Amino acid sequence: MSVTEMFSYIQGFLSADQDVREDIRKVVQNLEQTAREILTVLQSVHQPSGFREIPSKCAKARELFCTVRTHISDLKTKFPMEQYYRFHEHWRFVLQRLAFLAAFVNYLESEALVTREEVAEILGIEVVREKGFHLDVEDYLAGVLIMASELSRLAVNSVTAGDYSRPLRISNFINELDSGFRLLNLKNDPLRKRYDGLKYDVKKIEEVVYDLSIRGLAKEPESGEDK
Amino acid sequence: MNKREVPGEVWSRKKVDSAQEMSTNSTSPVIAAFRVFQQELDAKHDKYERLVKISRDVTIESKRTIFLLHRVTNVADTEDVLNEAEGKLDGVRQKISQIAEELRGEDINQFHRAFTPGIQEYVEAVSFLHYIHHRSLISLEEINARLVFMRTEKADPKGSAEAAPRGAHVLTFQVTPADYLLGVADLTGELMRMCISSVGNGDIETPFQLSQFLRQIHDGFSYIGNTGPYEVSKKLHTLRQSLGKVEDACYTLHVRGSEIPKHMLADLFCSRTTHMDTEEGVV
Q: Does A163 touch chain B (CB under 8 A)?
A: no
Looking at the predicted structure, is the pLDDT value of residue A53 above 60? yes
Q: Is the pLDDT of residue B27 over 80?
A: no
Shortest distance, CA A49 to any CA of chain B (angstroms):
31
Confidence of residue B269 (pLDDT cuts 50, 70, 90): low
Task: For residue range A158-199, list pLDDT tens digits in order.
Answer: 999 888 999 999 999 999 999 999 999 998 889 999 999 999
In a domain, B29, yes or no: no
Residue B4 lies in a domain: no
Note whether B44 and B144 are same-domain residues: yes
Query: How far is the CA of B46 from the CAs of A129, A184, A187, A188, B109, in angstroms?
Result: 18, 14, 11, 14, 16
The per-residue pLDDT for A86 is 92
Q: Are residues B99 and B199 in the same domain?
A: no
Q: How confident is the model at residue B259 (pLDDT cuts 50, 70, 90)?
A: low
pLDDT at residue B263, as a whole number: 58
Q: Which of A3, A4, A180 has the CB atom closest to B34's CB atom?
A: A180
Structural domain range at position B112: 37-152+169-175
Number of domains within chain B: 2
Query: Is the Cβ pair B22, A183 closer than 8 Å?
Result: yes
Q: Residue B129: which residues within 8 A CB-CB, separation 6 or more?
A: B65, B69, B82, B85, B86, B89
The ipTM is 0.86
* Structure confidence at residue B262 as a pLDDT band (50, 70, 90): low
pLDDT at B9 > cutoff 50: no
Stretch B117-125: mean pLDDT: 95
Higher pLDDT, A120 or B234: A120
Q: How confident is the model at residue B202 (pLDDT cuts 50, 70, 90)?
A: confident
**Cα separation of B62 and B85, whole Å?**
9
Report the CATH number at residue B118: 1.20.58.190
Residue A26: its pLDDT value, please? 96
Q: Residue B261: what pLDDT?
A: 59
Q: How far is CA B250 from CA B204, B205, B209, B218, B279, in A?
A: 9, 10, 10, 16, 18
The pLDDT of residue A68: 95
Q: Which helix (H) or strand (E) holds B149?
A: strand B148-152
Answer yes or no: do B188 and B143 share one domain: no
Residue A200 neighbours by CB under 8 Å, 6+ apart: A152
**Mean pLDDT (whole number) for B127-145:** 93
Q: Rounded to whole angstroms, how far apart are CA atoms B163 and B161?
A: 6
Q: Give the 3-state secondary structure percentages of chain B, helix then strand then coil, rounded to 5.
A: 80, 5, 20
pLDDT for B231 = 84
Q: Give the pLDDT of residue B167.
A: 58
pLDDT at B270: 58
Interface test with B, best of A11, A87, A90, A114 (most B CBs within 10 A): A11
The answer to the question of residue B11 being in a domain is no
Contact B63, B193 (CB under 8 A): no
- For position B266, what pLDDT does the model report? 60
Residues B147 and B61 in one domain: yes
B132 and B185 in a single domain? The answer is no
Instruction: State which H helix or E strand residue B168 sits in.
Output: strand B168-172
Residue A181: exposure state from Cβ atoms within 10 A (0-12, 13-18, ≥19): buried
> Is A187:B45 a contact under the CB 8 Å cutoff?
yes
**B41 and B131 both lie in a single domain:** yes
If asked whether residues B43 and B147 sit together in one domain, one would say yes
Pair (B117, B182) in one structural domain: no
Provide the mean pLDDT of chain A: 90
Examine residue B265 and state whether it is found in any structural domain, yes or no: no
Interchain contact, A83 vs B107, CB within 8 Å: yes
B62-88 pLDDT per residue, tens: 999 999 999 887 677 788 899 999 999
DSSP codes of every residue in A113-180: PPPHHHHHHHHT-BSSGGGSSB--HHHHHHHHHHHHHHHHHHHHHHHHTT--SHHHHHHHHHHHHHHH
Q: What distance lies between CA A32 and its chain's CA centroid?
A: 13
Residue A59 is predicted with a pLDDT of 94
Same domain, B77 and B147: yes
Segment B224-238 mean pLDDT: 84
Asked whether residue B226 is assigned to any structural domain, the reply reads: yes
**Which residue of chain B has the CA closest to A13?**
B177
pLDDT tier for residue A45 given thresholds of 50, 70 and 90:
confident
Do B183 and B118 lie in one domain? The reply is: no
Beta-carbon contacts of A43 under 8 Å, excluding residues fewer than 6 positions away, are: none
Q: Within a 10 A sphere around the Cβ of B259, how many other Cβ atoms?
A: 7
Cα–Cα distance list, B152 to A185, B45, B170, B171, B174 (Å): 35, 27, 9, 10, 20
Same domain assignment for residues B44 and B148: yes
Q: What is the pLDDT of residue B199?
A: 81
Q: What is the pLDDT, as a whole number, of residue B29?
A: 87
Instruction: Write out pLDDT tens, residues B147-185.
Output: 998 876 554 444 444 444 455 678 889 999 999 999 999
In a domain, B44, yes or no: yes
Split at pLDDT 50, 70, 90, the class of B271 is low
pLDDT digits (tens, 9 = 90+) for B238-258: 999 999 999 988 888 888 766
What CA–CA distance (Å, rounded) separates B71 from B76?
10
Q: What SS3 class is residue B161?
A: coil
My answer on whether B188 and B221 are in the same domain is yes
- What are the phi and psi torsion angles at B150 (to 5°)? -95, 125
CATH number of domain containing B211: 1.20.58.200
A57: contact with B, CB 8 A cutoff: no
Pick the residue from chain B with its C-alpha nearest to A117. Answer: B33
Annotated binding site of B: 124, 190
Decide if B271 is inside a domain: no
Q: Spell out the domains of chain A, with CATH numbers in brackets.
A: 1-135 (1.20.58.190), 140-218 (1.20.58.200)
Give DSSP secondary structure letters for B183-250: HHHHHHHHHHHHHHHHHHTT--HHHHHHHHHHHHHHHHHHHHGGGS-HHHHHHHHHHHHHHHHHHHHH
Q: What is the pLDDT of residue B272?
A: 53
Give domain status of residue B162, yes or no: no
At A95-148, the pLDDT tens digits run 999 999 999 999 999 999 999 999 999 999 988 877 789 999 999 999 999 999
Q: What is the pLDDT of residue B140?
A: 93
pLDDT for the residue B281: 39
